[in-house]
Amino acid sequence: MLGREEIDRLVRHFEERVTFSNHIRSRVLEVEPGRAVLCIDVEDFHLNGNGTLHGGVYASIIDNAMGIALAALVGVRIATTQMNVHFLGPVSEGRIECRSEVVHRTRRTATAEAKVYNDSDELVAMGTGAFRIFERPGTPIV
């Protein structure tokens, strides 16, 4: 489990190195071991041909929120091995907020879930993910 200074370093690493997240302009709001909150202010380039948030944007923020929550918990590198996303409602403007939590962990695997809310705090998407933990003692994530 990472301490506050290490979590801050993890967030900086995420913001600098996860370039696709920068491209879609997702931001980290909160991180603690096993939990994270990310957000995106919806812009025109996030929208699909129907004028609503593209499914890939939902999937990306869900994956990133679960991943950073797990990374803050285990402190070593991880990789998503499976992910499932449910699209529950359209968003075309405003802010989405993704709240994630690690729900199960073994030495080498973990399961997390994330929920995405719109400006009115209505659930608009949710997802679960399975992760591989690359545990190498003494090798920090950042």
pLDDT digits (tens, 9 = 90+) for 33-79: 999 999 999 999 999 999 999 999 999 999 999 999 999 999 989 99
DSSP classification of residue 20: H
Closest CA to 74 of 11, 29, 137: 137
Residue 95 has pLDDT above 70, yes or no: yes
| The predicted structure's pLDDT at residue 138 | 54
**HSE, side-chain direction, 13 A CA sphere, residue 5:** 1
Contact 40, 61 (CB under 8 A): yes
Residue 142 has pLDDT above 90, yes or no: no
* 3-state SS class at 71: helix
Architecture category of domain 4-133 in CATH: Roll (3.10)
pTM score, two decimals? 0.93
